[in-house]
Amino acid sequence: AQTVTQSQPEMSVQEAETVTLSCTYDTSENNYYLFWYKQPPSRQMILVIRQEAYKQQNATENRFSVNFQKAAKSFSLKISDSQLGDTAMYFCAFMNYGGSQGNLIFGKGTKLSVKP
């Protein structure tokens, strides 16, 4: 069974600085997807970034980028130029490739606070 581990329950960063959130996962599969979701106080789940395991290039979305280390089963999220609106829970998630059920497996989350 796949598992996702986020070892940082809480983190804080000063506005405009850079922060990195850690995630490790365990799977015997070779093809899969990894995600970072943001959950602000509104509770809405928002997809931040996605990485396909077969792609060596790290995904980027504006100020968000990932460091995907497949052999180490590590998938960290870097947020550059942090903004107050980045304050939220961040969840790392795993999905098997091509699965019809599309079952997402989530970590327990990291609560990020951006301080002015």
Query: Where do contacts with another protein occur on this chain (CB under 8 A)?
Result: 4, 9, 33, 42-45, 47, 50, 52, 91, 93, 98, 100-104, 106-109
Q: How far is the CB of 82 from another protein (least distance, A)?
A: 22
Least separation in angstroms between CB 81 and another protein: 26
Our CB check for another protein shows the closer of 9 and 116 to be: 9
Q: In the complex with another protein, which residue's Cβ is closer, 52 or 78?
A: 52
Report the 3 state secondary structure along 21-86. Answer: ECCEEECCCCCEEEEEEEECCCCCCEEEEEEECCCCCCCEECCEEEEEECCCCEEEEEECCCCHHH
Name the DSSP class of 8. -
